[in-house]
Amino acid sequence: MQSEIRAGATQMTAAMLISGTIGWFVVMSGQPVSGVVFWRCLFGAISLLVVCAAMGLLRPGVISLKSAGIAVLGGVAIVLNWLLLFASYGHTSISIATTVYNTQPFMLLGLGALFLGEKITAAKLFWLTLAFAGMAAIVEAKPAAAGGHEGYGLGILLALGAAFFYALAAIAAKWLKGTPPHLIALIQVATGVLMLLPTVNFSELPTNGQSWSILITLGVVHTGLMYVLLYGAIQKLPIHLIGALSFIYPIAAILVDRLAFGHALQPLQLVGAAVILVAAAGMNLGWTPAQLLRTRAG
């Protein structure tokens, strides 16, 4: 059991570090959001198809019809999650969008109560309230360069929508425990290809090698490799560890945003981001408000 948890933790850490660089690749691709997601799905599907074939996962009977249906629904959620998150970058920044996106544990809390019968305790309500306070601080701290309050607010709403669909995909992954994660990821990106194919303008394809290399990297590394690691970790780890290790992602994204684009959080944004991360950590790690106060007093 412990060896499984260690393997899952290693997979989750690697997946979150890879995820932390995705904003840079999306922005540098110079492509419209729907195009980025389509090519990410296509190149991810190609790489995962090769992997699944080599592992013998394409033979009949590996996945049931019901599980395949759940994987497809999870794929719809993942694609909507990508579309909304990538769109949010243009209205806020990678740092802010990623921090707001990290409210997904609270989305998972609500969905768990709705679909899995999980109890919402007073402590979880406290952390939820604290996270909303952090969100309010971020909204209030609209930067002057954000292009207007409406655009900034829209970016935050897009990131919240992305968090909701990520939580849906996480619920689907938990239901698919025992199904090879490589096959889950293949079904989901193939679903994305079919969803977005009608939106692609093939007359305006990237014209330089750098753009294609970025799109291929998004497909092979940030999709094929990352989602195999992520789903493998989700199937091995308890919920609280999944939530705890998820904080590697926003921290890595904030560092990448600062180093690559020079975007630094304003003081009030920094406070709001810290409050959200502390609240999410408290909920996922099972802290109580009393424990937090004792830690501060100590």
pLDDT in tens, 3-48: 888 888 899 999 999 999 999 999 999 889 999 999 999 999 999 9
**pLDDT level of residue 294 (50, 70, 90 thresholds):** low
Using the 8-state DSSP alphabet, how is residue 208 labeled? S
Q: For the chain, how many residues are written? A: 298
| Average pLDDT value for residue range 151-163 | 91
Examine the pLDDT at 283 and tell me if it is beyond 80: no
pLDDT in tens, 161-211: 999 998 898 888 778 878 888 898 899 999 999 999 999 888 778 878 888
**pLDDT level of residue 149 (50, 70, 90 thresholds):** very low
> Count of domains in the chain?
1
**pLDDT level of residue 292 (50, 70, 90 thresholds):** low
